[in-house]
Amino acid sequence: MTKVLVPFDFTEQAQNALDLTTHLSNKFENVEITVLHVIEVPSASGMGTMGGGEMLPVYENQIFFIELMNRRKQQLKDLESQYASNNYVLKTKIVLGNAFQNISSAIIDQNPDLVIMGSKGSSGMEEVLLGSNAEKIVRTSHCPVLTVKGAINPETFKKIVFASDFKDDQDELAERLKTIQKLFDADLYLVLINTPGNFESTRESARRIKNFANKYSITHAVAEIYNANSEEAGIVEFAEDIDADMIAMATHGRTGLIHLFTGSIAEDVVNHAKRPVWTFRVK
């Protein structure tokens, strides 16, 4: 069984993610989609992250949360009816608490093959202080994450950009990348971003890309070397220049002080790219 987790908050971006999920699920057999909705609960409410504890002491807030819960339950039932299909099983789940924590727990508990989620992205001070839930899920998820912003028709996918330095062995990543390519029947653009602070000759870059493609028997691929001021900017700009349908890349899932000082190219791309971004955390 192929299991897909779709965090869902009833925004346009979440709807786009769910539509893409159901379209892709029609290509396979025995697919289970879990639509997870998290109702954020203020910390002062006394509620546990999974809904335990006491209700808010203020009567009006109790009524508000009861009405909100009932409305969301009905909306999720409507989703189940709207997306009923013989090609996949779609079920919904609703929990109370922090969105990031509950999505992370669901990934651990359900062990999905893929997370597909909407993202609004973030920029400026919001990016520095908060970041998006999608960014944090990309950093911590042990399974691939596909972030979606706009409406997507998977039937039109023809170009996937895979950005890497092509230095390390990436056996599992390469196999998953080939699966994504086959799923969309798309051409791969293997791109290495050359920056002023990490410059190397075109010959050396091209050699590594060619070795990568040969080692993992990747076909229908084009090798590209792209010059930019930074890696994240170069990935986004290259994808824009060739009008790519998706960006694929690895993330190392750095946390704590290492993440604070070094950041993450994958998370920056998720935040700033307008097109879908597929990420896979490597060790």
Contact (Cβ atoms closer than 8 angstroms) between residue 278 and residue 180: yes
Angle of helix 133-140 versus helix 265-272 axis, rounded to 10:
150
Give the bridge partners for 193, in sequence order. 226
Report how many domains make up the chain. Answer: 2
Query: Could you tell me the CATH number of the domain that includes residue 210?
Result: 3.40.50.620
Neighbours of 109 (CB within 10 A): 8
The whole-angstrom separation of Cα 206 and Cα 202 is 6
Q: Is 146 a domain residue?
A: no
Q: Is 253 a domain residue?
A: no
Q: What is the pLDDT of residues 28-37, one digit of tens each?
A: 888 999 999 9
Sign of the C-alpha dihedral computed for residues 242, 141, 37 and 102 taken in this order = negative
> Does the pTM exceed 0.75?
yes
Q: Is 68 a domain residue?
A: yes
Which of 66, 99, 118 is the last residue in one of the domains? 118
Looking at residue 55, its pLDDT comes to 46
Looking at residue 13, its pLDDT comes to 92
Looking at residue 42, its pLDDT comes to 62
The single-letter DSSP state of residue 156 is: G
Q: What is the pLDDT of residues 63-115, one digit of tens each?
A: 888 888 999 999 999 999 999 998 899 999 999 989 999 999 999 999 999 99
Q: Do 236 and 177 share a domain, yes or no? A: yes
Radius of gyration for the chain, computed over Cα atoms and rounded to the nearest angstrom? 20
Which of 90, 118, 146 is the last residue in one of the domains? 118
The whole-angstrom separation of Cα 279 and Cα 273 is 13
Residue 24 belongs to what domain range? Answer: 2-118
The whole-angstrom separation of Cα 230 and Cα 110 is 37
Looking at residue 60, its pLDDT comes to 53
Residues (pLDDT < 50) of the chain are: 44-59, 123-131, 255-263
Q: Is 90 a domain residue?
A: yes
The whole-angstrom separation of Cα 2 and Cα 153 is 21
Q: Do 90 and 168 share a domain, yes or no? A: no
